Amino acid sequence: MGAFLRVARAVKQEAANVPLPPGQVAGLVLDAVLDRLHPVSVPERSVGHKAAGAVLVLAGAGITGWAVWERRRETAGSFQLGHPEGLVTTGPYAASRHPMYLGWWMIHAGVAVSRGSAWPVVTMPAGMLVEHLGALWEESMLRQRFGEAYADYERDVPRYIGSPARLMRTSFQMARRPAPAATAIDDENRSEPVDENAPKGTHMSNPAAKNAAT
Protein backbone atom coordinates (compact mmCIF):
# COMPACT_ATOMS: atom_id res chain seq x y z
CA MET A 1 0.00 0.00 0.00
CA GLY A 2 2.85 2.34 0.86
CA ALA A 3 4.50 1.72 -2.51
CA PHE A 4 1.21 2.42 -4.28
CA LEU A 5 0.82 5.74 -2.47
CA ARG A 6 4.37 6.75 -3.34
CA VAL A 7 3.74 5.99 -7.01
CA ALA A 8 0.44 7.88 -6.90
CA ARG A 9 2.16 10.91 -5.35
CA ALA A 10 4.91 10.79 -7.97
CA VAL A 11 2.37 10.60 -10.80
CA LYS A 12 0.41 13.49 -9.29
CA GLN A 13 3.57 15.59 -8.99
CA GLU A 14 4.57 14.93 -12.60
CA ALA A 15 1.04 15.66 -13.81
CA ALA A 16 1.26 19.04 -12.09
CA ASN A 17 4.33 19.77 -14.23
CA VAL A 18 2.46 19.34 -17.52
CA PRO A 19 1.79 22.80 -19.01
CA LEU A 20 -1.93 23.08 -19.75
CA PRO A 21 -2.87 26.67 -20.57
CA PRO A 22 -6.60 26.94 -19.82
CA GLY A 23 -7.50 28.98 -22.90
CA GLN A 24 -6.17 26.42 -25.38
CA VAL A 25 -7.31 23.34 -23.46
CA ALA A 26 -10.82 24.74 -23.12
CA GLY A 27 -10.73 25.83 -26.76
CA LEU A 28 -9.78 22.37 -28.03
CA VAL A 29 -12.54 20.75 -25.98
CA LEU A 30 -15.07 23.33 -27.16
CA ASP A 31 -13.94 22.83 -30.78
CA ALA A 32 -14.68 19.10 -30.53
CA VAL A 33 -18.08 19.66 -28.93
CA LEU A 34 -19.15 22.34 -31.42
CA ASP A 35 -17.86 20.33 -34.35
CA ARG A 36 -20.01 17.41 -33.26
CA LEU A 37 -23.12 19.49 -32.61
CA HIS A 38 -22.83 21.72 -35.67
CA PRO A 39 -19.93 20.92 -38.02
CA VAL A 40 -18.51 23.89 -39.90
CA SER A 41 -15.77 22.80 -42.29
CA VAL A 42 -13.37 24.90 -44.31
CA PRO A 43 -13.69 24.58 -48.10
CA GLU A 44 -11.30 22.51 -50.21
CA ARG A 45 -9.95 20.34 -47.45
CA SER A 46 -7.23 17.97 -48.72
CA VAL A 47 -4.58 15.51 -47.61
CA GLY A 48 -2.16 18.42 -47.55
CA HIS A 49 -4.20 20.04 -44.80
CA LYS A 50 -3.81 16.95 -42.63
CA ALA A 51 -0.07 16.86 -43.25
CA ALA A 52 0.33 20.56 -42.49
CA GLY A 53 -1.76 20.19 -39.35
CA ALA A 54 0.37 17.28 -38.16
CA VAL A 55 3.54 19.31 -38.70
CA LEU A 56 2.13 22.19 -36.63
CA VAL A 57 1.07 19.86 -33.82
CA LEU A 58 4.46 18.15 -33.69
CA ALA A 59 6.33 21.45 -33.83
CA GLY A 60 4.15 22.94 -31.08
CA ALA A 61 4.54 19.88 -28.88
CA GLY A 62 8.29 19.96 -29.48
CA ILE A 63 8.59 23.61 -28.45
CA THR A 64 6.46 23.08 -25.34
CA GLY A 65 8.39 19.95 -24.34
CA TRP A 66 11.71 21.70 -24.94
CA ALA A 67 10.62 24.61 -22.74
CA VAL A 68 9.67 22.25 -19.90
CA TRP A 69 12.96 20.36 -20.29
CA GLU A 70 14.95 23.60 -20.21
CA ARG A 71 13.15 24.70 -17.08
CA ARG A 72 13.87 21.32 -15.49
CA ARG A 73 17.53 21.47 -16.58
CA GLU A 74 17.96 24.86 -14.89
CA THR A 75 16.39 23.65 -11.64
CA ALA A 76 18.79 22.53 -8.93
CA GLY A 77 16.19 21.22 -6.47
CA SER A 78 12.80 19.59 -6.86
CA PHE A 79 11.24 20.67 -10.16
CA GLN A 80 7.86 22.36 -9.93
CA LEU A 81 6.49 24.07 -13.01
CA GLY A 82 4.47 26.54 -10.98
CA HIS A 83 7.29 27.30 -8.52
CA PRO A 84 10.50 27.98 -10.48
CA GLU A 85 13.88 28.74 -8.97
CA GLY A 86 15.00 31.54 -11.22
CA LEU A 87 14.86 33.32 -14.55
CA VAL A 88 15.54 30.98 -17.48
CA THR A 89 16.86 32.56 -20.68
CA THR A 90 18.32 29.55 -22.48
CA GLY A 91 16.85 27.11 -24.99
CA PRO A 92 13.52 28.28 -26.45
CA TYR A 93 13.50 31.12 -23.90
CA ALA A 94 16.33 32.67 -25.90
CA ALA A 95 13.86 33.45 -28.70
CA SER A 96 10.50 33.73 -26.91
CA ARG A 97 9.62 34.87 -23.41
CA HIS A 98 6.59 32.56 -23.42
CA PRO A 99 7.44 29.50 -25.56
CA MET A 100 4.90 27.23 -23.85
CA TYR A 101 2.06 29.50 -24.91
CA LEU A 102 3.49 29.67 -28.42
CA GLY A 103 3.78 25.88 -28.57
CA TRP A 104 0.18 25.38 -27.49
CA TRP A 105 -1.07 27.91 -30.03
CA MET A 106 0.68 25.90 -32.73
CA ILE A 107 -0.90 22.70 -31.39
CA HIS A 108 -4.38 24.24 -31.47
CA ALA A 109 -3.84 25.61 -34.97
CA GLY A 110 -2.49 22.26 -36.14
CA VAL A 111 -5.52 20.36 -34.84
CA ALA A 112 -7.81 22.86 -36.57
CA VAL A 113 -5.98 22.60 -39.90
CA SER A 114 -5.84 18.81 -39.72
CA ARG A 115 -9.54 18.42 -38.96
CA GLY A 116 -10.61 21.14 -41.36
CA SER A 117 -12.88 22.73 -38.76
CA ALA A 118 -13.71 26.43 -38.83
CA TRP A 119 -14.66 26.68 -35.14
CA PRO A 120 -11.07 27.43 -33.99
CA VAL A 121 -11.34 30.74 -35.87
CA VAL A 122 -13.45 31.78 -32.87
CA THR A 123 -12.17 29.66 -30.00
CA MET A 124 -8.44 30.00 -30.60
CA PRO A 125 -8.26 33.84 -30.50
CA ALA A 126 -10.42 33.82 -27.36
CA GLY A 127 -8.00 31.42 -25.68
CA MET A 128 -5.02 33.45 -26.86
CA LEU A 129 -6.50 36.58 -25.32
CA VAL A 130 -6.88 34.82 -21.95
CA GLU A 131 -3.28 33.66 -22.07
CA HIS A 132 -2.01 37.04 -23.26
CA LEU A 133 -3.55 38.65 -20.18
CA GLY A 134 -1.88 35.96 -18.06
CA ALA A 135 1.45 36.68 -19.77
CA LEU A 136 1.16 40.39 -18.98
CA TRP A 137 0.50 39.56 -15.32
CA GLU A 138 3.47 37.19 -15.23
CA GLU A 139 5.76 39.81 -16.71
CA SER A 140 4.78 42.39 -14.12
CA MET A 141 5.72 39.90 -11.39
CA LEU A 142 8.98 39.07 -13.15
CA ARG A 143 9.94 42.75 -13.29
CA GLN A 144 9.40 43.03 -9.56
CA ARG A 145 11.34 39.84 -8.84
CA PHE A 146 14.32 40.25 -11.15
CA GLY A 147 14.46 43.99 -11.78
CA GLU A 148 17.17 45.03 -14.23
CA ALA A 149 18.00 41.42 -15.21
CA TYR A 150 14.48 40.89 -16.49
CA ALA A 151 14.38 44.36 -18.07
CA ASP A 152 17.45 43.41 -20.14
CA TYR A 153 15.90 40.06 -21.07
CA GLU A 154 12.59 41.72 -21.96
CA ARG A 155 14.38 44.21 -24.19
CA ASP A 156 16.37 41.55 -26.05
CA VAL A 157 13.77 38.78 -26.45
CA PRO A 158 10.29 39.22 -27.95
CA ARG A 159 7.23 38.19 -26.00
CA TYR A 160 6.14 35.38 -28.29
CA ILE A 161 7.93 34.96 -31.63
CA GLY A 162 11.61 35.58 -32.21
CA SER A 163 14.16 34.91 -34.92
CA PRO A 164 14.86 31.17 -35.49
CA ALA A 165 18.46 32.06 -36.34
CA ARG A 166 18.86 33.89 -33.05
CA LEU A 167 17.30 30.93 -31.22
CA MET A 168 19.81 28.47 -32.65
CA ARG A 169 22.80 30.78 -32.18
CA THR A 170 21.93 31.70 -28.60
CA SER A 171 21.04 28.14 -27.66
CA PHE A 172 24.39 26.80 -28.82
CA GLN A 173 26.25 29.58 -27.05
CA MET A 174 24.41 29.18 -23.75
CA ALA A 175 23.70 25.44 -23.70
CA ARG A 176 26.35 24.73 -21.09
CA ARG A 177 26.12 27.98 -19.15
CA PRO A 178 23.77 28.81 -16.28
CA ALA A 179 21.09 31.37 -17.09
CA PRO A 180 22.48 34.88 -16.38
CA ALA A 181 19.82 35.65 -13.80
CA ALA A 182 19.25 32.11 -12.55
CA THR A 183 19.95 32.47 -8.84
CA ALA A 184 18.95 30.43 -5.84
CA ILE A 185 15.81 31.57 -4.06
CA ASP A 186 16.26 32.81 -0.53
CA ASP A 187 14.88 30.62 2.24
CA GLU A 188 12.01 32.96 2.97
CA ASN A 189 10.65 32.84 -0.56
CA ARG A 190 11.29 29.10 -0.85
CA SER A 191 9.03 28.43 2.11
CA GLU A 192 6.10 30.42 0.73
CA PRO A 193 3.13 28.48 -0.70
CA VAL A 194 2.60 27.71 -4.35
CA ASP A 195 -0.47 29.21 -5.99
CA GLU A 196 -2.36 26.10 -7.08
CA ASN A 197 -4.76 28.28 -9.11
CA ALA A 198 -2.07 29.77 -11.33
CA PRO A 199 -2.74 28.93 -15.02
CA LYS A 200 -0.77 25.96 -16.28
CA GLY A 201 1.58 26.51 -19.16
CA THR A 202 2.99 29.61 -17.50
CA HIS A 203 6.16 30.07 -15.54
CA MET A 204 4.86 32.03 -12.57
CA SER A 205 4.46 31.00 -8.98
CA ASN A 206 2.44 32.59 -6.21
CA PRO A 207 2.53 36.38 -6.87
CA ALA A 208 2.97 36.98 -3.15
CA ALA A 209 6.20 35.00 -3.28
CA LYS A 210 7.45 36.98 -6.29
CA ASN A 211 9.36 33.91 -7.27
CA ALA A 212 9.42 33.33 -11.01
CA ALA A 213 11.29 32.16 -14.07
CA THR A 214 10.43 32.57 -17.69
For residue 41, the cross-strand partners are: 117
DSSP 188: H
Q: What percent of the chain has pLDDT over 90?
A: 26
User: The pTM is what?
Assistant: 0.68
Specify the range with the lowest mean pLDDT, choosing from 38-42, 54-58, 69-73, 189-193.
189-193
The span from the CA of 15 to the CA of 170, in Å, is 30
Instruction: Identify the band that residue 15 occupies on the pLDDT scale cut at 50, 70 and 90.
Output: low
Residues 6+ away with beta carbon under 8 Å from 107:
24, 56, 57, 60, 61, 64
What does the pLDDT read at residue 202? 43
Position 166 scores a pLDDT of 60
The single-letter code of the amino acid at 131 is E
By the 10 Å C-beta count (0-12 exposed, 13-18 middle, 19+ buried), 76 is classed as exposed
**Nearest Cα residue to 146 out of 183, 178, 177:** 183
